[in-house]
């Protein structure tokens, strides 16, 4: 039975989704079990078919329910969270490039990447301490598993640091796919200081579409900034993953 009784017509699809989510998470319907029919749920809650359909759509988007054509919804079996290793330069192994981080986390998915020169927008220019419009080299990484995007990461390096060097294209050349520390050391920039900033926030419209989640669902965003011995930023990485499917794991040296 629904845990919260309201007058007919007082349910919105959001409050209805909240109530159904609570019932699922508390085990009223076990993983693999079918929910009552659409009509039965409408009668139980006293809501219109369209309201119930919207609420169920939210839970399907959250991967709590599995939708099959012509069949009642099934409670999905919970999936383990993806562990994303975030290693500092003083640890062993050293800070890993994105692909190596994912290999440490579990079975690797399918990576794609693209590097291109872009003008620095206002926000990135402030972080990298360059002028707005200055040339940056931007590399975007996308990790997909079973056809779904599970991680999006974008890296920026100032053109004044890497232009004309062997490391200008991070996934090509003699140091392709190597950690940032090793790439920067090859052009005489070392040691580096690494600063991570972790933020939990709602997904934007584009992120919700890319990560196959609902608008406003929690995502984790990590900014990893590398600076040279003089404090000059030389590399910025921004990663975004689903908050309900991921866990950031940090390995730090004991002091």
Instruction: Return the CATH number at 25.
Output: 1.10.10.10
Residue 3, in any domain of the structure = no
138 and 39, same domain (yes or no): no
Of 97, 73, 75, 74, nearest in space to 85 by CA: 97
pLDDT on residue 85: 64
**Domain termination site, one of 75, 99, 122:** 75
Residue 239, in any domain of the structure = yes
Q: How high is the mean pLDDT in each 10-residue block of the chain (255 residues)?
A: 56 91 90 91 92 90 78 78 59 45 56 93 95 96 85 94 94 89 95 92 90 85 94 95 83 72
Domain carrying residue 117: 82-251
**Domain termination site, one of 75, 106, 122:** 75
59 and 122, same domain (yes or no): no
The count of domains in the chain is 2
118 and 224, same domain (yes or no): yes
Give the span between the Cα atoms of 124 and 90, in whole angstroms.
26
68 and 115, same domain (yes or no): no
pTM: 0.66
127 and 231, same domain (yes or no): yes
178 and 241, same domain (yes or no): yes
Residue 110, token pair as written in the block: 């399918």
184 and 207, same domain (yes or no): yes
Residue 2, in any domain of the structure = no
Of 218, 234, 244, 76, nearest in space to 161 by CA: 234
pLDDT on residue 79: 66
Is the N-terminal amide bond of 65 cis, ω within 30° of 0?
no
């Amino acid at each position: 039975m629904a845990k919260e009784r309201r007058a007919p017509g007082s349910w919105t699809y959001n409050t209805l989704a909240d109530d159904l989510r609570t019932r699922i998470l508390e085990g009223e319907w076990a993983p693999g079990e079918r929910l009552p029919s659409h009509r039965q749920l409408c009668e139980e809650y006293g809501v219109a078919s369209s309201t119930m359909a919207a609420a169920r759509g939210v839970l399907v988007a959250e991967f709590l329910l599995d939708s099959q054509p012509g069949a009642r919804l099934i409670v999905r079996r919970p999936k383990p969270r993806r562990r994303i290793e975030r290693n500092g330069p003083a640890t062993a192994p050293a800070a890993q490039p994105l692909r190596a981080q994912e290999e440490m986390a579990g079975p690797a998915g399918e990576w794609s990447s693209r590097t291109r020169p872009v003008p620095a927008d206002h926000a990135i220019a402030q972080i990298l301490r360059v002028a707005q419009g200055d040339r940056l080299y931007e590399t975007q990484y996308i990790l997909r598993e079973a056809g779904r995007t599970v991680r999006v990461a974008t890296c920026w390096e100032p053109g004044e640091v890497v232009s004309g060097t062997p490391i200008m294209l991070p996934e090509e050349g003699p140091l392709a796919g190597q950690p940032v520390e090793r790439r920067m050391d090859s052009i005489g920039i070392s040691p580096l200081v690494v600063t991570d900033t972790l933020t939990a926030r709602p997904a934007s419209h584009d992120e919700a579409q890319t990560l196959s989640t609902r608008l406003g669902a929690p995502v984790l965003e990590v900014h990893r900034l590398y600076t040279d011995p003089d404090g000059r930023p030389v590399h910025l990485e921004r990663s975004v993953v689903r908050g309900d499917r991921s866990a950031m794991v940090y390995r730090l040296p004991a002091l």
